[in-house]
Amino acid sequence: MLSETVFNALGDPTRRDIVMLLRSRPHSITELAQRLPVSRPAVSKHLTRLRAAELVARQVSGTRHIYTLRHEGFEAARAYLDQFWEVALARYKLLAENLQEFDS
């Protein structure tokens, strides 16, 4: 299930930090490792998990691997969460309608 993979990927604080860094612009593994308290191999492993969750994309430029966010992965996660929001709104509407009837 995509949403499970996405939430598992975002469950790690280092991966969330990577996502936050990629919000501003694409980065190479080296650039990310310079801004994080983990090694380049660790950043690479985190990026592999983020790619598996379809949250980041990789472009190869010579010997450099450049990573960017994939908005489609975040849209899938948002759609999953929106299901709960829609249910909550429907329940709130039902409660409000019932309270109106009670007050009348």
pLDDT of residue 86: 82
Integer angstrom CA distances of residue 27 from 57, 71, 94? 11, 16, 47
Helix 40-52 and helix 13-24, axial crossing angle in degrees, nearest 10: 80
- Which residue, among 80, 48, 53, has the nearest Cα to 67 in the 3D structure? 48
pLDDT of residue 2: 67
Instruction: Please list the rounded mean pLDDT of every run of 10 residues in the chain (104 residues).
Output: 82 97 97 97 97 96 94 86 82 81 64
What residue ranges define each of the domains in the chain, with the CATH number in brackets? 2-103 (1.10.10.10)
Q: How many CB atoms lie within 10 A of CB 59?
A: 10
Degrees to nearest 5, angle at CA 16 with 88 and 29? 150
